[in-house]
Amino acid sequence: MSRTGKIVSITAGIIVLLVVILAIVIATFDWNRLKPTINQKVSAELNRPFAIRGDLGVNWARNREEQGWRSWVPWPHIHAEDVMLGNPPGVPDVTMVHLQRADATLAPLALLHKELYLPWIKLQQPDARLVQTADKKNNWTFTLASSENSDPNAAPSAWSFRLDNVLFDQGQVRYRDAINHADVTVQINPLGKPVPYGQVAGGDDQQKGAGDFVFGWQAKGTYNQQTLSGEGKIGGMLSLRSQTTPFPLQFDVRNGTTRVRAAGTLQDPLNLGGLNVRLRFSGDTLANLYGLTGVLLPDTPPYETDGHLIARFNDKKGALFRYENFNGHIGDSDIHGSLVYRQGKPRPLLTGELRSDQLRMADLGPLIGVNSGKGSEQTQRAKAQRGEAAAQPADRVLPHDRFETQSWGAMDADVKFSGKRIEHSSKLPLSDLYTHLQLKDSTLLLDPLRFGMAGGSINTTIRLEGDRSPMRGRADLHARKLQLRQLFPDVTAMQRSLGQLNGDASLSGSGNSVADLLGTSNGELKLLMNDGLISRSLMEIAGLNVGNYIVGKLFGDDEVRINCAATDLNVRQGVATPRIFVFDTENAVINVSGNANFASERLDLTVNPESKGVRVITLRSPLYVRGTFKNPDAGVKTGPLLARGAAAVALGTVLTPAAALLALISPSDTDDNQCSRVLQQMKNQK
């Protein structure tokens, strides 16, 4: 052999020997000697304690799934026992994650092109504890030491990471949150074998190509100081990291009286691509969803909805959620429509359109501060369970339920609602409700709020400024062409009436309930009624015992036709005083004076009758109406008898109110409306 050949042979032999020695050293090396270094380096990088407290080892084996010469390259199979990851400073407890054992396989050839590739990781009894403190510190946000010291202008790392699958026998996650008053434990278990999406969630053309369900989970604990329980299924690691295979999820969660069910998929979940699920809500009140979803909704009777939720988390303008084509009910009212919720600045925005074919007015009670209907009773019971006192005093009539404005600044809203038929009572059906609700910077505006009633229409604008303490409110109302025979369907004589009711009201006040707003209100109220009648039977039907007494004193048991009833009230600091309050009947003029105090809910009225021509009213002293709104009292004023006509208020002596009331009569109704003639006489007389 030549000298060169000998050198090559010796060199090759040395290299082979070194490789063999290296293989022997690696195969027999005690990897536990590296644990102190690994623990120290990882702890320093993560800024929190890390320790491998059990055995650390590496086994080498060929991967026979590789082809050709690659199948001869040994792969390291790493295992570590009793692995602990701690919490950052300021978070209580010591442990965030504990693993009884972790096994992983590393693809060595992938390192040649700067990829850290782990085909699988197997975990034994993983236990994670997620904590958020009252000062908003949490243990799931990592601050890496390398990122703190890195140059922000440096090029990104050329290395990449890939993980194909995560396996474990049983896992547990405990979530404790001092801000949301949460303490929830979730148990996660493998299903044994993959379950096709359609077998669990049913057929859905929008979810074609979804991955299989791999894990099942169960949750129990408390959230927002109410009991939470739930169960569901999720996909595996392959679909979790896939950008093309939707990640399947299904869950059924109960929190207090609220139940949320969903089945659908996540798109590109590692990059928060989007969400596409069938979503069903149910519970005692929509207001309870705020703690779960962050969406501010009103207090309502029991509800249930079923719709399609589509979300885009990475939208440039903020995360976008669309709850489309949902159907359901609130109380006994049906509800349909679509809503869009966008997380943006300065506040999230809720928009959409809703409709109802059959709407119970009682179901709207809690929205306007009225304690009425089945749903409101359940709401009151819920408040009692939470230790909240009943808002409505026993001796008061005006609604004292408070508008809860504290959360109005949490978001803005622009929602349109229409109701085809409104069930107020079988005797007085309402129809064609429409409102445009706008909530912006804690100010709620309903403009318009309109509906049909008794053959006519009510058109209202309501503005509530929730950022003020107390709240400031304003209401402008216009009632037109309410037909008297439809307003009083049980009064036989009224069915022959062609009369109608028209009115305007403009009131503003401050307070956090209807009672407080009226008790501080300023404004005016105008009403006109023509071609009606008054009788004791009508008062009985209306439940007005005082009215029954007054009509009996004035007219006996007879029905008396009213040519025109006119009211113009001036309201100052909650006290309504008539500028004019008269009833022009076929044989007398009845004038009402005094005041009604909305703050104290007390009446102090005087009723003065004056006959026309031949006296048919024998009463020569006026009547009084006193007492409270809930328990009024009426009687004849004591004192000397009034001289004939001394207490009468001639129609022509009140000029300005009469002229203002003429505006309530449509030009097309002038010839048929007796109030037009009466008011014109009042205006012209001096």
**Bridge partners, residue 431, by sequence:** 421, 452
- Mean pLDDT score, 369-386: 45
Residue with tokens 């969406």: 295
pTM: 0.71
pLDDT at residue 642, rounded to an integer = 45
Q: Name which of 330, 337, 325 is nearest 359 in CA terms.
A: 330
Positive or negative, the Cα torsion across 291, 297, 302, 304? negative
Q: Using CB atoms within 10 Å of the CB of residue 374, give its burial: 0 to 12 exposed, 13 to 18 middle, 19+ buried.
A: middle
How many H helices and E strands in the chain? 13, 33
Sign of the alpha-carbon dihedral angle for 110, 111, 112, 114: positive
Query: In whole angstroms, what separates CA 605 from the centre of its chain?
Result: 44
Q: What pLDDT was estimated at residue 616?
A: 46
Which of 132-146, 315-329, 361-375 shows the lowest per-residue confidence on average (mean pLDDT)? 361-375
DSSP readout, 593-619? EEEEETTTTEEEEEEEEEESSS-----
Q: What is the pLDDT of residue 640?
A: 47
Strand bridging mode 160-163 / 115-118: parallel
Strand ranges in 87-141 using DSSP code E only, listed in sequence order:
95-105, 115-118, 121-124, 127-132
Q: CA neighbours within 13 Å on the CB side: how many for 258?
A: 19
Q: Which residue would you say has higher pLDDT here, 298 or 514?
A: 514
For residues 651 and 681, is the Cβ–Cβ distance under 8 A?
A: yes
Instruction: Report the pLDDT value the prediction gives residue 641, as an integer from 0 to 100.
Output: 45
Structure tokens at 71: 């199948």
The C-alpha atoms of residue 475 and residue 405 are separated, in whole angstroms, by: 18
- pLDDT at 98 (0 to 100): 93
pLDDT of amino acid 2: 62
Establish how many alpha carbons lie within 13 A of residue 385's alpha carbon, considering only the half-sphere containing its beta carbon: 10
Euclidean distance between CA atoms 409 and 678, whole angstroms: 51
The structure tokens listed for 620 are: 């020569």
Q: Is pLDDT above 80 for 580?
A: yes
Give the contacts of 553 (CB within 8 A, at least 6 positions apart): 619, 623, 636
Q: Alpha helices of 110-196 — where are they, by DSSP H?
A: 145-149
Whether 655 has a pLDDT exceeding 50, the answer reads no
Instruction: Return the higher-pLDDT residue of 539 and 192.
Output: 192
Average pLDDT on 78-87 reads 92
What are the φ/ψ torsions at residue 500 (nearest 5 degrees)?
Answer: -150, 165
